[in-house]
Amino acid sequence: MAVRAAVVPAIGAPLEITAVDLPDPGPGQVRVRLAAAGVCHSDLSLADGTMRVPLPAVLGHEGAGTVVAVGDGVTEVAPGAEVVLNWAPACGRCHACGLGEIWLCADALSGSAAVYARTVNGTDLYPGLNVAAFAEETVVPVSCLLPLPPGIPLTDAALLGCAVLTGYGAVHHSARVRADETVAVFGVGGVGLAALQAARIAGASRIVAVDVSPAKEELARRAGATDYLVASANTAREIRGLTGKQGVDVAVECVGRAVTIRTAWESTRRGGRTTVVGIGGKDQQVTFNALEIFHWGRTLSGCVYGNADPAADLPVLAEHVRAGRLDLGALVTERIGLDGIPAAFGNMLAGKGGRALVVF
pLDDT in tens, 158-189: 999 999 999 999 999 999 999 999 999 999 99
Q: How far is CA 87 from the centre of its chain?
A: 10
**Do both 218 and 141 map to the same domain?**
no
**Do both 7 and 156 map to the same domain?**
yes
Per-residue pLDDT for 94 more than 90? yes
pLDDT tens track for 306-348 = 999 999 999 999 999 999 999 999 999 999 999 999 999 988 8
Residue 300 belongs to domain with CATH number? 3.40.50.720
**Do both 142 and 18 map to the same domain?**
yes
**Do both 156 and 228 map to the same domain?**
no
Per-residue pLDDT for 12 more than 90? no
**Do both 98 and 176 map to the same domain?**
no
- Identity of residue 69: A
Cross-strand bridge partners of residue 32 = 67, 138
Q: How far is CA 304 from the centre of its chain?
A: 9
CA atoms within 13 A on the CB side of 14: 7
Q: What is the pLDDT of residue 257?
A: 95
**Do both 285 and 346 map to the same domain?**
no
352 — pLDDT class (breaks 50, 70, 90): confident
Between the CA of residue 49 and those of 46, 218, 345, what are the distances in Å? 5, 33, 14
Q: What is the pLDDT of residue 112?
A: 92
Determine contact, residues 59/47, Cβ cutoff 8 Å. Answer: yes
Kindly provide the residue ranges of all beta strands, DSSP E only, lying in the chain, ordered along the sequence: 2-8, 16-21, 29-39, 57-58, 62-70, 82-85, 117-119, 124-127, 137-141, 145-147, 182-186, 206-211, 227-230, 248-253, 268-276, 299-302, 332-336, 355-359
336 vs 343: CA distance, rounded Å: 10
Per-residue pLDDT for 220 more than 90? yes
Q: How far is CA 359 from the centre of its chain?
A: 18
Examine residue 317 and state whether it is found in any structural domain, yes or no: no
**Do both 185 and 141 map to the same domain?**
no
Structural domain containing residue 297: 167-304
Examine residue 311 and state whether it is found in any structural domain, yes or no: no
Per-residue pLDDT for 353 more than 90? no
334 vs 245: CA distance, rounded Å: 38
Mean pLDDT of 11-29: 93
pLDDT tens track for 30-87 = 999 999 999 998 888 888 888 888 999 999 999 999 999 999 999 999 999 999 999 9
**Do both 210 and 101 map to the same domain?**
no
Residue 337 belongs to domain with CATH number? 3.90.180.10
Phi, psi of 325 (to 5 degrees): -80, -30
Examine residue 173 and state whether it is found in any structural domain, yes or no: yes
Examine residue 321 and state whether it is found in any structural domain, yes or no: no
212 — pLDDT class (breaks 50, 70, 90): very high
Q: What is the pLDDT of residue 338?
A: 95
| Helix residue spans in the chain (DSSP H) | 41-47, 95-98, 154-157, 163-169, 190-202, 217-223, 235-242, 258-266, 290-296, 310-322, 341-349
Angle, helices 258-266/235-242, rounded to nearest 10 degrees: 30
**Do both 241 and 197 map to the same domain?**
yes
Domains identified in the chain, total number: 2
**Do both 73 and 220 map to the same domain?**
no
Among 138, 145, 195, 143, smallest CA distance to 172 is for 195
Examine residue 310 and state whether it is found in any structural domain, yes or no: no
Q: How many other C-beta atoms lie within 10 A of the C-beta of residue 95?
A: 10
Among 133, 128, 163, smallest CA distance to 145 is for 133
Question: Which long-range contacts does 213-216 make (Cβ < 8 Å, 24+ apart)?
Answer: 213/188, 213/351, 213/352, 215/352, 216/188, 216/353, 216/354
Examine residue 66 and state whether it is found in any structural domain, yes or no: yes
**Do both 132 and 182 map to the same domain?**
no
Mean pLDDT of 258-282: 96
**Do both 80 and 139 map to the same domain?**
yes
Per-residue pLDDT for 208 more than 90? yes
